[in-house]
Amino acid sequence: MRFCRDSVPEPAVRAVVTLVWPGRCAQLLSVWLRRRSRRCGPLTRSFSSEKVIQKDCALPNPSWSKDLRLLFDRFMKKCEDGSWKRLPSYKQFFSKNFQGFQTLYLDPSLVKGEERAQLFTRSFEDGLGFEYVMFYNDAEKRVLCFLQVGPHLQGAPGFVHGGAIATMMDSTTGTCACRAGGIAMTANLNINFKRPIPLCSVVVIDSQLDKVEGRKLFVSCNVRSVDEKTLHSEASALFIKLDPDKSLRKKS
């Protein structure tokens, strides 16, 4: 089955976009869906023999360590009563399906390399880069990310690159901001690196929406060892809700 532009079922679009793209502006689709709905009428589903296989990367694979699996299992149980929700995650963004969405923020003719585009945090082979799963608690406006840092994320020998830590803090706080407060992009990220993270270890990233002021969403975050004894990093992040009438490419 293959989804075509303007024929993608809305639940599928919402599911994919809010989850394919957890670190950023997941709910950005609402605007496009509303516009498309006005333009196209009720959504229909298009079937063809060509299958699009999207692997959900936020599920265990053979590279996951015992620590990561235990955390995953513990929180999957917490999902049963609905208090927590696992967030699926995919490598690709269905760009062809979202030309309407893209034109809200950028000129599609200027987009380069979109055929080969992959979400940064999912662009490694299993086990070599970021192995992670995020869980969201709506009541607490909180996202937990369980992260195993692969050998291709090295900075200082034996330790994770500060940029890799920043990447996952941005993704986790971004997911928290978008889930809790709406479509938003990072405006500021202020990270204190306390203790370096050993390569190939598992850490817990805990982020929470602290405050909303108009279009500003304030999110805090920390990275701890699985036993919670070591505070590796902490950060504060500011996200700004996007205005669908303004392009991201032009000076707003």
Least CB distance from residue 51 to a second copy, whole Å? 22
The least distance separating a second copy from the CB of residue 2, rounded to whole angstroms, comes to 19
Task: Encode burial over 211-242: b for 16+ CB neighbours within 10 A, e otherwise.
Answer: ebeeebbbbbbbbbbbeeeeebbbbbbbbbbb
Cα–Cα distances (Å) from 63 to 45, 66, 97, 162, 224, in that order, read 36, 10, 32, 22, 21
Of the listed pieces 47-55, 192-200, 207-215, 217-225, which binds a second copy according to CB under 8 A?
192-200
Is residue 150 near a second copy by the rule CB under 8 A?
Answer: yes
What is the distance in angstroms between the CA of the first residue and the CA of the last residue of the chain? Answer: 40
Note whether 126 binds a second copy by CB under 8 A: no
Stretch that binds a second copy, among 7-15, 44-52, 99-107, 211-219 (CB under 8 A): 99-107
- CA distances, 171 to each of 32, 167, 177 (Å): 23, 6, 10
Binder of a second copy out of 59, 138, 187, 246 (CB under 8 A): 187
Based on the shown chain and the rule CB under 8 A, indicate whether residue 154 belongs to the binding site for a second copy: yes
Contact between 10 and a second copy (CB under 8 A)?
no
In angstroms, give the least distance from the CB of 41 to a second copy.
Answer: 25
CA distance 58 to 246: 33
For the CB of residue 10, give the shortest distance to a second copy in the complex, in Å: 18
Residue choice 35, 152, 215, 216 for contact with a second copy (CB under 8 A): 152
Q: Which two tokens stand for residue 96?
A: 């062809």
Instruction: Report if residue 21 touches a second copy, rule: CB under 8 A.
Output: yes
State which of residues 41, 42, 50, 110 lies at the interface with a second copy (CB under 8 A).
110
Active site residues: 170
Q: Which two tokens stand for residue 76?
A: 């999957």
CB atoms within 10 A of CB 25: 22
* Residues 69 and 60 sit within 8 Å (Cβ to Cβ): yes
103 lines the binding site for a second copy (CB under 8 A): no
Asked if residue 128 binds a second copy (CB under 8 A), the reply is yes
DSSP label of 205 = E
